Amino acid sequence: MTVLFVNAAFRKNSRTYALAQQYLSTLTDEIETVNLGEEDIHPLQKASLEKYCKNSRNYEFGDEMYRYAKQFAKADEIVIAAPFWNFGLPAVLHDYLELVCTQGLTFDLDKAGEYNSLCQAKKLVLIMTAGGYVPENDCAISYIRTLCKEFWKIDDVRYYYADGIDLVGVDVNAKLEAVVKQYGNTQK
Ligand SMILES: Cc1cc2nc3c(=O)[nH]c(=O)nc-3n(C[C@H](O)[C@H](O)[C@H](O)COP(=O)(O)O)c2cc1C
């Protein structure tokens, strides 16, 4: 089993990163890490979009830009660590997911218009912390859930988060510990 750890929690002393490490320490599998804070990731723009559309049509995926999608497709479990930024995901994680969502690598579309998953993973875990409160049905988790449901057919999506941790007087450690306790209850 290979777990892919997608780390978008790269602030020094990141609480989200610490929570993710505690989750990963409960696993016995091999862990591959992609540190988004150190990767040279760009959103699809004019030139790269043209290449992406052409390559996707012709199923030609030799370019380096497809390395994230290939790695993602092969993983047995995906763990994403992301702080809650501007009521959503950090932009670099969005850009990464844009590249992961390459038709022909992590999903395909059949003649009837149905999406088929090309991913091995059956489980995805999103770990998040937020300074304030996360609204119900927030767009960060909804977006990840939609990708899992529509493209990758990953049914087991777990969302662990501590919110309100920047509020004055809050017991941050207690909030983080409460999340760690949930890991124990929900392991396979
Ligand atoms: C760029 C940026 C945007 C943020 N936007 C929000 C926000 O929209 N809502 C919120 O509750 N907290 C927001 N925060 C606070 C973070 O969610 C909070 O500090 C989080 O715990 C950071 O995680 P970390 O310790 O892993 O870096 C933001 C922080 C930063 C740096």
pLDDT of residue 5: 98
Domain boundaries, position 167: 2-186
What would the pLDDT profile of 90-104 be if each residue is shown by its tens digit? 999 999 999 999 999
What would the pLDDT profile of 105-117 be if each residue is shown by its tens digit? 999 999 999 999 9
- 37-48 average pLDDT score: 97
pLDDT of residue 137: 80
* Minimum-distance ligand 1 atom for the alpha carbon of 9: 26
pLDDT of residue 138: 86
User: Alpha helix locations (H) across the chain?
Assistant: 15-24, 46-58, 67-74, 91-100, 139-146, 172-186
User: Distance, CA 131 to ligand 1 centroid (Å)?
Assistant: 5
What pLDDT band is residue 186 in, cutting at 50, 70 and 90? low
Rounded to whole angstroms, how far apart are CA atoms 136 and 150?
Answer: 21
* Minimum-distance ligand 1 atom for the alpha carbon of 13: 25
Rounded to whole angstroms, how far apart are CA atoms 56 and 62?
Answer: 11
User: Distance, CA 163 to ligand 1 centroid (Å)?
Assistant: 10
Q: Determine the residue of 15, 36, 80, 84 to mutate for testing ligand 1's pocket, defined as the one with the most ligand atoms within 8 A of the Cβ atom.
A: 84
In the chain, the percentage of residues whose pLDDT exceeds 70 is: 98
The CATH number given to whatever domain includes residue 41 is: 3.40.50.360
Q: How crowded is residue 171: how many other Cβ atoms within 10 Å of its Cβ?
A: 10
Residues with CB under 6 A from ligand 1: 9, 11, 14-17, 83-87, 129-132, 165-166
| Residue 188, pLDDT above cutoff 90 | no
pLDDT of residue 164: 97
Q: What's the structural domain count of the chain?
A: 1
- 151-177 average pLDDT score: 97
Rounded to whole angstroms, how far apart are CA atoms 88 and 43?
Answer: 16
| Residue 187, pLDDT above cutoff 60 | no
pLDDT of residue 80: 98
User: Distance, CA 86 to ligand 1 centroid (Å)?
Assistant: 7
Rounded-to-5 percentages of helix, strand, coil across the chain: 40, 20, 40
Burial class (CB in 10 A: 0-12, 13-18, 19+), 126: buried
* Residue burial 79-104, b: 16+ Cβ < 10 Å; e: rest: bbbbbbbeeebbebbbbbbbbbbbbb
| Residue 48, pLDDT above cutoff 90 | yes
Rounded to whole angstroms, how far apart are CA atoms 96 and 18?
Answer: 21
Rounded to whole angstroms, how far apart are CA atoms 186 and 153?
Answer: 20
Q: Please tell me the residue having the least CA distance from ligand 1 atom 24.
A: 14
